Amino acid sequence: MSDTQNEPMQDSNNASNSDRLAGIIGQVKADISLNHDGDTRVLLEQRLHDAGIELSPAEFDLTLAEVSE
């Protein structure tokens, strides 16, 4: 038996959308705590866009409320 990896690991870095969204929420909260001077809504929109996550308007509003807690 060999302890080496000879083939690429499939899906080794694929986080679920809920995991990715939780990470973005954490990032935005950290930005706010560091006295981010921008609009929280715009910051969240940018983070979601950069991650390729699309939310419905209702989901976005819920996420924005969670970020603002």
The model's pLDDT over 15-39, given as tens digits with 9 standing for 90+, comes to 788 899 999 999 999 988 887 677 8
Residue ranges per structural domain of the chain: 17-67
C-beta of residue 51 within 8 angstroms of C-beta of residue 24: yes
Average pLDDT, the chain: 83
pLDDT at position 58 is 96
The whole-number average pLDDT for the span 58-63 is 96
Full-model pTM: 0.72
Mean pLDDT of 40-56: 93
pLDDT at 42 over 80: yes
Give the type of residue at 63: T
Three-state helix/strand/coil letters over the chain: CCCCCCCCCCCCCCCCHHHHHHHHHHHHHHHHHCCCCCCHHHHHHHHHHHHCCCCCHHHHHHHHHHHCC
Tokens describing residue 51: 């991650």
